[in-house]
Amino acid sequence: MALESNERPDKPITKFESMLKTDDVYFFDAEDFEDIVHHYLNHGKISLAKKGIKIGLQQHPASIELKLLQVEVMVFENQMEKAEALLDELQRLDKHNDEIYIQRANIFSKRDDHEGAIDLLQKALSFTENSFDIYSLLGMEYLFMDNFKNAKESFMKCVEFDEEDYSSLYNVVYCFEFLEDYDGAIIYLNGYLENNPYCEVAWHQLGKQYYYKHMFTEALTAFDFAIISDDTFIGAYFEKGKVLEKLGRYKEAIENYETTISIEDPTSHAFLRIGKCYEKLKDTEMAKYYFYQTVHEDPLLDKGWLAITNLYYSIKDFEKAIFYINKALNIDGENPQYWKKCAKIHMALKNYDQADFAFKQAVDLGNFELETWLNWAEVVHINGEEAAAVEILNQGREFYPDNLKLLYNSVGYLLLAEDPINARIMLMDALKIDKKLKKLHLFTENFPEYGKSEWTQEIVRKYNKTS
C-alpha cells in the first residue's frame, strides 16, 4: 500500500531506494521521478534509471517527460527504432516539445548525420527560451564536423548564459586555438575577465595564449593572477614554470614545479621538468636524480627515458645511453626521433650495422631531416657501401634538392664507387648552385684524396670559363 507523506523519507532518492528494498509502494510526483532518473543516469546506473522510469510510468502513465527519459535510455542502449517510434508517438501529443527534437538530434548524431542533428537542434531552439543545453549540443555537433567557427559561437552562447560554465569556456578557447586565432582568444578572455576578475580558469587560459605568442612577460602576469585567484591551482604553477624556463630563470621554474608537488602527489611530468631545469643549470647529478624519479613515478613515460638517454649522451657515456634509448623504444617504437637518437648513439659506439638499421627505421617512420640523410650515408660509407650511400643521398635530395652538403658528398661517394662520369655530372650540378665556390670546401675537405686532384681542378677550371 502507498504510505502517507509523513511516513516517507524526505529525499526522493533515499525514499526510492528504501522502496526497492521492501514490498511497500511509495507515491512520488512525476517531477520526483524525473529527478530520480536523472540522478541515476548521471551516475551511470542505467538499470536503476530504468526501474525509476518503469515505476514512474506506472504511477504517471501520461508523463511525456518520463517517456522522453525512456527514449534517452533506448538511445543509450542503441535501440534506435524503438526510440524513434516512441518519439513519433510523443510528437503527435506535443508538436512543440523541444526535448523531442533534442532526442531526435541525438539519434542523428549517433548515426553520424551531424548536419541532420544540427537542423533538429535549430528547430528545438525555436520552441524554448531555456536554450543553454541546446547550444552546448550544437557546439559538440559542429566540433564533430570540424566547424570550429560555429562551434565557438555556440559555446560562447553557453558562457553568456552561465559564466561559470567552465567546460564551455574551455571549448571556446579550444576552438580559438584550433583556428590559430590566439589574438582572438586573448581579446575574448580579457573581455570575460572584466566581468569575472577572480576566475582562475580564465587567467590560466589567457596565460597559455600569451605563451603561444611568445609574450612571456604577459603570460607570467596572467599565471600570477590565476594563482592569486586560487593559490592551490596546480596548472597555473606548472605553466608558470614553463614560462620561467623559456626566460632562462631555471631556479624560479624549479620552485614553481616543486609547489605543484607540495600541493598534490608528485607527477612524472613535474619531475621531468625539474630535471630539465637542473640540466640547463649544468647540475648533472640533480638532473639525473629527477629524471630517475620521473621514470620511477611513471615507467611508461618514454620522454623520461629519453631525458636520461640525452643526459648520458651529453657526457659521452654511450653504453648507458643506448641502454636507456632502448627503454624509450620499447614504449614507443614508432617514434622516428627515438630511432634517430638510437642511430647516433650506435655511430658513437661504432656499431655501424645497428646504426644503419636505426637510421632506416627513422626514415621509414617519417624522419626526413637533412642530418639524418647525411649521417645515414656516412654510416653505410664506413661499412664500405658507397653505392648505397649515393642512393641514400639521392633520396635526401628529393627533400633538399639544392643542398650543397648532399651534392658534394654525393660526388665523393660516386668517386669512391668508381663512377667518375656521374661524379662529374653531380659536381657540375653542385657548381651551378655554388656559383662563387664558397662551399667547395665541403667536398675538398671531406674527400681530400679527390679534392685537390687534377680531375677536380680541371672541372672547376672549365666551370669558371663557362660561367
**Predicted local distance difference test score (pLDDT) of residue 90:** 75
**Predicted local distance difference test score (pLDDT) of residue 370:** 97
Q: Is the pLDDT of residue 100 over 90?
A: no
What are the backbone dihedrals phi and psi of residue 2, each rounded to the nearest 5 degrees, phi first?
A: -75, 140
Cα 154 from Cα 448, distance rounded (Å) = 68
Q: Is the pLDDT of residue 89 over 90?
A: no
Question: Residue 5's pLDDT band (boundaries 50, 70, 90)?
Answer: very low
Please give the span between the terminal C-alpha atoms of the chain, in angstroms, as a whole number.
Answer: 108
| Residue 27, Ramachandran bin (φ over 0: left; ψ between -120 and 50: alpha; else beta) | beta
**Predicted local distance difference test score (pLDDT) of residue 4:** 38
In three state form, how does the secondary structure of the chain look? CECCHHHCCCCHHHHHHHHHHCCCECCCCHHHHHHHHHHHHHCCCHHHHHHHHHHHHHHCCCCHHHHHHHHHHHHHCCCHHHHHHHHHHHHHHCCCCHHHHHHHHHHHHHCCCHHHHHHHHHHHHCCCCCCHHHHHHHHHHHHHCCCHHHHHHHHHHHHHHCCCCHHHHHHHHHHHHHCCCHHHHHHHHHHHHHHCCCCHHHHHHHHHHHHHCCCHHHHHHHHHHHHHHCCCCHHHHHHHHHHHHHCCCHHHHHHHHHHHHHHCCCCHHHHHHHHHHHHHCCCHHHHHHHHHHHHHHCCCCHHHHHHHHHHHHHCCCHHHHHHHHHHHHHHCCCCHHHHHHHHHHHHHCCCHHHHHHHHHHHHHCCCCCHHHHHHHHHHHHHCCCHHHHHHHHHHHHHHCCCCHHHHHHHHHHHHHCCCHHHHHHHHHHHHHHCCCCCCCHHHHCCCHHHHCCHHHHHHHHHHHHHC
C-alpha cell at 328: 624509450
User: Model confidence over 156-215: pLDDT tens digits?
Assistant: 999 999 999 999 999 999 999 999 999 999 999 999 999 999 999 999 999 999 999 999
- Span 429-449, average pLDDT: 91
Cα 450 from Cα 446, distance rounded (Å) = 9
Q: Which of 100, 76, 106, 79 is nearest to 88 (CA)?
A: 100
CB 398 within 8 A of CB 362: no
Neighbouring CB atoms inside 10 A of 373's CB total 27
Average pLDDT, the chain: 90
**What are the b/e assignments for 64-75, b being 16+ CB within 10 Å?**
bbbbbbbbbbbb
Sign of CA dihedral 328, 332, 338, 343: positive
Question: Residue 10's pLDDT band (boundaries 50, 70, 90)?
Answer: very low
Q: Is the pLDDT of residue 112 over 70?
A: yes
Q: Is the pLDDT of residue 375 over 90?
A: yes
User: Model confidence over 203-217: pLDDT tens digits?
Assistant: 999 999 999 999 999
**Predicted local distance difference test score (pLDDT) of residue 467:** 63
- Span 434-461, average pLDDT: 89
- Span 286-294, average pLDDT: 97
Question: Residue 104's pLDDT band (boundaries 50, 70, 90)?
Answer: confident
Q: Which of 227, 247, 246, 229 is nearest to 237 (CA)?
A: 227
Q: Which residue has the higher pLDDT, 341 or 437?
A: 341
- Span 49-56, average pLDDT: 79
Q: pTM of the full predicted structure?
A: 0.78
**Predicted local distance difference test score (pLDDT) of residue 1:** 34
**Predicted local distance difference test score (pLDDT) of residue 9:** 39
Q: Is the pLDDT of residue 2 over 50?
A: no
Question: Residue 78's pLDDT band (boundaries 50, 70, 90)?
Answer: confident
- Span 132-145, average pLDDT: 93
**Predicted local distance difference test score (pLDDT) of residue 407:** 96
Q: Residue for cell digits 501529443?
A: 93
**Predicted local distance difference test score (pLDDT) of residue 426:** 94
Q: Which residue has the higher pLDDT, 96 or 331?
A: 331
Q: Which of 285, 305, 227, 293 is nearest to 265 (CA)?
A: 293
Q: Is the pLDDT of residue 3 over 60?
A: no
> Any idea which of 103-107, 331-335, 352-356 has the lowest mean pLDDT?
103-107
Cα 153 from Cα 350, distance rounded (Å) = 58
User: Model confidence over 14-41: pLDDT tens digits?
Assistant: 777 777 777 777 787 788 887 888 888 8
Percent of the chain with pLDDT over 90: 68
> Any idea which of 9-13, 124-128, 222-226, 243-247 has the lowest mean pLDDT?
9-13
CB 343 within 8 A of CB 375: yes
Cα 325 from Cα 319, distance rounded (Å) = 10
Cα 120 from Cα 166, distance rounded (Å) = 26
Question: Residue 383's pLDDT band (boundaries 50, 70, 90)?
Answer: very high
Q: Which residue has the higher pLDDT, 129 or 359?
A: 359
